[in-house]
A = this chain, B = another copy of it.
Amino acid sequence: MSQLRIPGPTPLPPQVLQSMSKQMINHRGSEYHTMLRSITENLKTLYQTQNDLFVLTGSGTGGLEAAVVNMLSPGDAVLGVSIGVFGDRIAAIARAFGAKVVPLNFEMGKAADPEAVRKALKANPDIKAVMITHNETSTGITNDLEALSKVVREFDKLLIADCVSSLGSLKCPVDEWGLDVAISGSQKGWMAPPGLAFVSVSKKGWEFYKNAKMARFYWDFGSAKKYLEKDENPWTPAVTSIYALSAGLDILMKEGLPNIVARHARVGKACREGIKSLGLKQVADEKYASNTVTAVWLPQGIEYKAISKGMRDEKDITITGGQGALDGKIFRIGHLGWVDEKDIKECIDTLRIVLSKLGFKK
């Protein structure tokens, strides 16, 4: 069987695939109301939050844009903590809408240092909000969001957390950690196809919303809240993706959050140990290595394309390459969503064959 081992879209379980062949329904009718209510409740359970939570029709990047434009005003100073492509992306969004982004960039493969965040907040008292990526897909790093959020709360700043590739896979208790806006995307841990973004908004988030002057219409949280009161979305939602999300959440709720997190911990560990056993080196500092995606340095003299073609030819396994500055230097294996240890074992076994055919010696 073919295997998609990229960090999203992720493979879908048969129940989810089947759910999408259901005929369209009215998105302003009672059947949809029931479905959206249940989806919202399940997402809140898995987010571990009592905050408002909205399902938006758009990519994860749309969710990031929604978070920015609903919280900030042009001219606002924000701390943009970045450890890779996705930290850079939310900073670029904030800049595009007129925020003054104070960048706090860390070396590729390293996690964000809470002490550095503390220093930056001390040095820039005008900063209103902090943007942090929980799990950086481009390098395979999971930031210590618990420690980082403590620092942000010390200074009583708003915390916008990009949890696109962590929520629903990794430990991320939104309320306990005080994440004011937490964004995720359907194609990551949620066993659903791409096309839906999720955002939770805390009480403090709503206070920011009241004063936020960035231009917005489609992503407006006020409209989302008003319509959610009648279990609807302001604009016509991606109904098929809603079917799929509903089916994916049913599976996740049955498994239960502790089991989901433990499964990702097992597959993450299996992937990293496998990589090591092949004589390859991961990009991430082991202490912060992500349980949803592993980035691996290309062995000397072997190109990404050769490995990726080999994996496809050998077992129809799809891996992915590096983004931005890491393009041509690394490959990445996704292990989130509908995945277990035997999938990772197959991936590593195939990689062993492919590397050997390419002349790689440990």
Interface positions of A (Cβ within 8 A of B): 2, 4, 6, 8-12, 17-18, 20-29, 57-62, 65, 69, 74, 92-93, 96-98, 185, 187, 193-195, 214-218, 234-241, 244, 318, 320
Contacts and interface: CB of A to CB of B under 8 A. Distances in A.
A9 to B, nearest CB: 4
A64 B62 CA distance: 15
B58 A218 contact: yes
Nearest to A69: B215
Contacts of A193: 24, 238-241
Overall SS of chain A's interface = loop
B28 A10 contact: no
29 contacts: A4-B26, A6-B26, A9-B25, A9-B27, A11-B23, A11-B24, A20-B21, A20-B240, A24-B187, A24-B193, A25-B318, A26-B318, A26-B320, A28-B320, A57-B194, A58-B62, A59-B236, A59-B237, A60-B235, A61-B217, A61-B236, A62-B218, A74-B215, A97-B215, A193-B240, A195-B238, A195-B239, A214-B215, A240-B240
Given A18-B21, A92-B217, A62 B235 contact: yes
Contact of A218 (B26, B27, B61, B217): B61
A1 to B, nearest CB: 9
A304 to B, nearest CB: 12
A187 B236 contact: yes
A62 B215 CA distance: 14
A29 B318 contact: yes
Contacts of A69: 215
A11 B239 CA distance: 12
A295 to B, nearest CB: 16
Contact of A236 (B2, B8, B57, B65): B8
